């Protein structure tokens, strides 16, 4: 951990009691700040409040009182999910109070080698693969943190100048990370996500580009080269561009040719040996390979990781095989693009479990993928009628069910040996579950109950 003095004696407001907010509050006390912690909700677990107060932190819960904007705070550390049109946040913006996220605080105290990953899809898998690959050859600590569910600042506290940290960073986090400066930055892809938060696609792209904003020609931006738009986005960086591509050969980076992965013209391994399924995971592997090779990792270490790693939980996660049916949990597919990609990963008939929160859009884009890959559909949640309409357009049999749990035995009844039973909802979970993680866990529990087996 790097010693810093810029918060000593400063009044800091931490907004949000998530994992990152709580860790940030305690860290700020440790580096000399006068901290107030605020959450709009009242925590069900009072231990959180007691723990904060025991560290000398003033705690305010149950509201974001606008009066806090007049208390003379020098800095606000905001939970990334709190929008900038929140009245209290907007008041701080108006008066020019610096607003950062915990990722910025983590960067400020970090004293090692930083690799950072962002993108619309594939962030967590790419982050995990990159960390595993670099760790295979490392003589020092190699950790991951960030949007992957582990506090950046908490991990950064325990790392030294020779250690490496691979961070997954969302657009929300990056908006509040003005000085972050990874030596290697990765952009997996950019679609049109979170426009309810960012308002426009250009705002969303600009937030993503904060990952490379402070890079120089001595740093590296590893970026997907499979779309013209992403190639143009790369031109907005001052870093050395390292492309990765499943579709375009580029000797400056990692690419696929005739079923073989290459790094700068040298063979690495066949794509068929990657344990993860689907074209999206070939792209994730290419991104991780580029970062790993830039970090001095050997081909043998890369091969070891890619031939053994079976997936991040809830992200096209292989659950088990039972009576010649394969079960996959892709609960993290909360948008149409992610489900498109998931379906393309299978060359077997798929029984698709899909549906969830109704965000107002329809699913015609999925019709060609349903026609090509889907044998039958089980739909549920607020948008089940819209999902059913798309299935009907594709000529796919559709059955309605209550949720992702009750859909499992329904899918089993429709299945035959050789089929894939896939949860890939294409929608957020919040109409029925508190998170996509809970939805995926409940799906796995239902599979275990059906089969009498534990996930593999």
For residue range 155-173, what is the model confidence (pLDDT) as tens digits?
A: 999 999 999 999 999 999 9
CATH number for 317-450 (one of 3.30.497.10, 3.90.650.10, 3.40.50.720, 3.90.190.20): it is 3.90.190.20
Confidence of residue 341 (pLDDT cuts 50, 70, 90): confident
The confidence score (pLDDT) of residue 23 equals 95
Q: Give the distance, in angstroms, between the CA of residue 355 and the centroid of all CA atoms in the same chain.
A: 20
CA angle (148 as vertex; 146, 170 as ends), nearest 5: 65
Question: What are 264's two structure tokens?
Answer: 């700068």
Per CATH, 11-100 and 103-308 having the same topology is answered: no
The confidence score (pLDDT) of residue 312 equals 85
Confidence of residue 134 (pLDDT cuts 50, 70, 90): very high
Confidence of residue 9 (pLDDT cuts 50, 70, 90): very high
Q: Is the per-residue pLDDT at 42 higher than 80? A: yes
* pLDDT (tens digit per residue) in 246-305: 998 888 999 999 999 999 999 999 999 999 988 889 999 999 999 999 999 999 999 999
Pairing mode of beta strands 317-322, 325-329: antiparallel
* pLDDT (tens digit per residue) in 305-319: 999 998 888 988 989
The confidence score (pLDDT) of residue 199 equals 87
CATH number for 11-100 (one of 3.40.50.720, 3.40.50.300, 3.40.50.2000, 3.30.70.1450): it is 3.40.50.720
What integer best gives the mean pLDDT of the chain? 95
Please give the C-alpha separations between residue 101 and each of 68, 69, 77, 108, 175, in angstroms, as whole numbers. Answer: 18, 17, 5, 11, 8
Angstrom distance (rounded) from CA 209 to CA 20: 22
Q: Is the per-residue pLDDT at 408 higher than 80? A: yes
Q: Is the per-residue pLDDT at 232 higher than 80? A: yes
The confidence score (pLDDT) of residue 149 equals 84
Question: H helices within 180-219, ranges in order?
Answer: 195-198, 201-209
Residues sharing a CB contact under 8 Å with residue 279, sequence separation 6 or more, in sequence order: 246, 341, 344, 345
- Domain locations along the chain: 11-100, 103-308, 317-450
The confidence score (pLDDT) of residue 109 equals 98
Q: Is the per-residue pLDDT at 193 higher than 80? A: no
0.75 exceeded by the pTM? yes
CATH architecture of residue range(s) 103-308: 3-Layer(aba) Sandwich (3.40)
Inter-residue contact 287 to 121 (CB < 8 Å): no
């Amino acid at each position: 951990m790097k010693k810093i003095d810029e918060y000593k004696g400063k009044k800091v407001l931490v907004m949000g009691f998530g994992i990152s907010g709580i860790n940030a509050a305690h860290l700020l006390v440790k580096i000399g700040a006068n901290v107030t912690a605020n959450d709009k909700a009242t925590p069900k677990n009072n231990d959180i409040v007691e723990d904060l107060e025991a560290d000398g932190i003033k705690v305010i819960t149950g509201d974001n009182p606008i009066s806090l904007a007049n208390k003379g705070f020098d800095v606000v550390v905001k939970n990334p999910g709190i929008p900038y049109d929140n009245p209290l946040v907007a008041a701080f913006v108006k008066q020019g109070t610096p607003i950062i996220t915990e990722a910025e605080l983590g960067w400020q105290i970090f004293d090692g080698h930083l690799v950072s990953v962002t993108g619309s899809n594939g962030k967590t898998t790419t982050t995990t693969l990159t960390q595993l690959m670099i760790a295979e050859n490392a003589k020092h600590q190699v950790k991951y943190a960030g949007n992957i569910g582990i506090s950046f600042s908490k991990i950064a506290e325990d790392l030294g100048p020779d250690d490496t940290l691979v961070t997954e960073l969302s657009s929300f986090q990056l908006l509040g990370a003005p000085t972050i400066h990874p030596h290697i930055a990765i952009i997996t892809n950019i679609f049109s996500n979170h426009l309810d938060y960012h308002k426009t696609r250009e705002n969303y792209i600009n937030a993503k580009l904060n990952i490379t904003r402070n890079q120089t020609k001595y740093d590296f931006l590893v970026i997907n080269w499979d779309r013209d738009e992403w190639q143009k986005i790369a031109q907005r960086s001052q870093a050395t561009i390292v492309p990765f591509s499943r579709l375009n050969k580029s000797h400056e980076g990692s690419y696929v040719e005739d079923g073989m992965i290459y790094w700068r013209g040298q063979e690495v391994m066949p794509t068929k040996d990657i344990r993860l399924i689907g074209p999206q995971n070939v792209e994730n592997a290419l991104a991780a390979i580029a970062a790993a090779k830039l970090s001095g990792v050997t081909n043998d270490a890369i091969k070891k990781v890619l031939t053994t790693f079976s997936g991040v939980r809830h992200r096209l996660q292989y659950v088990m095989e039972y009576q010649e049916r394969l079960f996959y949990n892709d609960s993290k597919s909360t948008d149409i693009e992610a489900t498109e990609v998931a379906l393309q990963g299978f060359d077997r008939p798929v029984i698709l479990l899909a549906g969830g929160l109704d965000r107002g859009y329809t699913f015609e884009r999925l019709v060609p993928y349903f026609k090509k890959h889907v044998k039958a559909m089980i739909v549920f949640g607020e948008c089940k009628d819209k999902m059913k309409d798309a299935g009907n357009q594709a000529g796919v049999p559709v059955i309605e069910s209550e949720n992702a749990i009750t859909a499992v035995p329904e899918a089993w009844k429709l299945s035959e040996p050789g089929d894939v039973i896939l949860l890939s909802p294409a929608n957020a979970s919040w109409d029925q579950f508190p998170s996509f993680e809970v939805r995926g866990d409940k799906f796995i529990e239902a599979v275990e109950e059906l089969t009498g087996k534990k996930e593999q």
